Structure 1
Amino acid sequence: MQAKTVAAEPAAPEVQRVVPDWLQNPGEAEVALTEDSTQLGSCGICLEPLWNAEPSVFLVNLKRLCRHYFCRACAKRMLLEQTTLGIRPLQEEMQIGMLDGLSSVMDGAGRRVGDLVWSETGQRLCAGEMFLVLTQLQRLRHLEVGMEFRFKEGEALVIRRGVLLGCLLKGAWRTLKRMTHEEFLQEGLEDVAVTSRNIKDLRSKFIVYSGGEFSCWTCKRCSLENTSSDFKCKLCGGPPQRPEDVPEQNLPLDRFGAAALRSRFALRPQLHWAVPLQCPLCRNGGTASVTPMPNLREAPFDWFSLVDVAGAGKLTLYELAAGLATVLPLSSERLESELQHQFSGLQWPINYEQFAQQEGPAHWAMRQLEALHRHENGARR
Structure 2
Amino acid sequence: MTNSSANMGIYIHIPFCLHKCDYCDFYSLPITDPVILEKYTRSVISELRRRASSISGPLASIYLGGGTPSLLLPQQVERIVNSVFENYQTSSELEISMEANPATVNLEDLKGLKCAGVNRLSVGVQSFADIELKTLGRMHGGHEAESTLRDVVKAGFNNFNIDLIYGLPGQTLSSWQENLSLAMNFNPQHISTYLLQLDESTRMARKVKAGTINLLDDELESSLYYTTLDFLAEEGYYHYEISNFARTGYECRHNLLYWQAQEYLGIGCGAVSYINRKRFLNQKNVNHYIEDMLADRPLQIEILETMTPRQLAADAIILGLRLTGGIKREEFRDRFGIDIMEEYRDVIKDCQTKGFLEVENDRIYLSKRAYFISNQVFMQFMD
TM-score (norm 1): 0.21
Greater percentage in helix: 2
Q: Could you say which structure has the larger radius of gyration? A: 1
**Alignment TM-score, normalising by the size of structure 2:** 0.21
- Which structure has more relative contact order (CA 8 Å, sep 6+)? It is 1
